[in-house]
């Protein structure tokens, strides 16, 4: 494996939580632990985006965001990675199409908060993402109805795995997705930035 790419063995169940992490916060750690539990994951990769294509504002420098992410989740089951920067990609569909051939036999699950499910149908080639990997969605305050109302949820309704079967998600044949409800965290990076106590904004 190329330098800077996380190591993974065939058969491992790995969740990828893509995000701006500007900055990382306990809400990210919370959904990561919930995802490990509900989807029976061996590991989770926090994949720090070089810049969300739908966000006008660029994030803080990668090195600052990585350092903060490490402080927030010193869990040996979690890898913090800048592999989109290494691959030179920022669209998730392109990232996954480059990544999957490098990790044959690994059972990946794309993870996201329910707010991202709401706008998932605006992502580049989002239906291809659904065909490539199972998708695990974690409840988020304000997005409770996303599992029913989001356009992506409606289009892929027939491929939804009931929450009681969430453990099956990593081995499910895509398209497959699962929405898990759980005790929620109302933390957000934008609230932290608004408070002005994240030095990445300086």
Ligand X SMILES: O=C(O)c1ccc[n+]([C@@H]2O[C@H](COP(=O)([O-])O)[C@@H](O)[C@H]2O)c1
**Residue 95 Cβ, how far from ligand X at the closest point, in Å?**
8
Which C-beta is closer to ligand X: that of 167 or that of 188?
A: 188
Helices (H) and strands (E) in the chain, counts: 9, 6
13 DSSP assignment? E
Query: By Cβ distance, which residue is nearest to ligand ATP?
Result: 113
Site string for ligand X, 36-65 (x = CB under 6 A): -----------x-x--xxxx----------
| Strands in the chain per DSSP E | 13-19, 43-48, 78-81, 107-113, 135-138, 177-180
Contacts 24+ apart (CB under 8 A), 194-202: 198/22, 198/23, 198/60, 198/68, 199/64, 200/22, 200/23, 200/59, 200/60, 200/61, 200/64, 200/65, 200/68, 201/60
Residue 124 binding result from ligand ATP, ligand X, none, given CB thresholds of 5 to 8 Å by partner type: ligand X
Task: Between 53 and 101, name the residue whose CB sits nearer to ligand ATP.
Answer: 53
Q: Give least dist CB 15 to ligand ATP, A.
A: 11
Which residues would be at the binding site for ligand ATP (CB under 6 A)? 17, 19-22, 27-28, 31, 112-113, 115-116, 138, 140, 185, 187-190
Cβ at position 97, least distance to ligand ATP in Å: 20
Rounded Cα distance, 131 and 126, in Å = 9
Binding at 32: pick from ligand ATP, ligand X, none (beta carbon under 5-8 Å per type): none
Tell whether residue 98 is a contact of ligand X (CB under 6 A).
no
Q: Maximum CA pair distance of the chain?
A: 46
Q: Does 15 bind ligand X (CB under 6 A)?
A: no
Q: Which of 46, 38, 75, 45 is nearest to 183 (CA)?
A: 38
* Interface residue list for ligand X (CB under 6 A): 18-20, 47, 49, 52-55, 90-93, 116, 123-124
């Amino acid at each position: 494996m190329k330098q800077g790419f996380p190591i993974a063995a065939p058969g491992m169940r790995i969740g990828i939580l893509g995000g701006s992490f500007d900055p990382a916060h306990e809400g990210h750690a919370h959904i990561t632990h919930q995802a490990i539990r509900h989807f029976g994951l061996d590991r989770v990769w926090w994949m720090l985006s070089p810049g969300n294509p739908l966000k006008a504002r660029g994030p803080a420098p990668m090195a600052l965001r990585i350092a903060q992410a490490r402080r927030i989740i010193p869990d040996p089951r979690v890898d913090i990675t800048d592999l989109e920067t290494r691959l030179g990609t920022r669209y998730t569909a392109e990232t996954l199409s480059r990544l999957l051939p490098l990790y044959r036999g690994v059972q990946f699950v794309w993870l996201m908060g329910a707010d991202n499910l709401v706008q998932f149908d605006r992502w580049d080639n989002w239906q291809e993402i659904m065909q490539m990997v199972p998708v695990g969605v974690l409840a988020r305050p304000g997005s409770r109805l996303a599992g029913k109302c989001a356009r992506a949820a409606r289009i892929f309704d027939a491929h939804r795995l009931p929450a009681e079967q969430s453990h099956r998600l990593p081995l499910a044949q895509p398209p497959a997705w699962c929405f898990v409800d759980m005790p929620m965290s109302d933390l957000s990076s934008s609230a932290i930035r608004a408070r002005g106590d994240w030095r990445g904004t300086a």
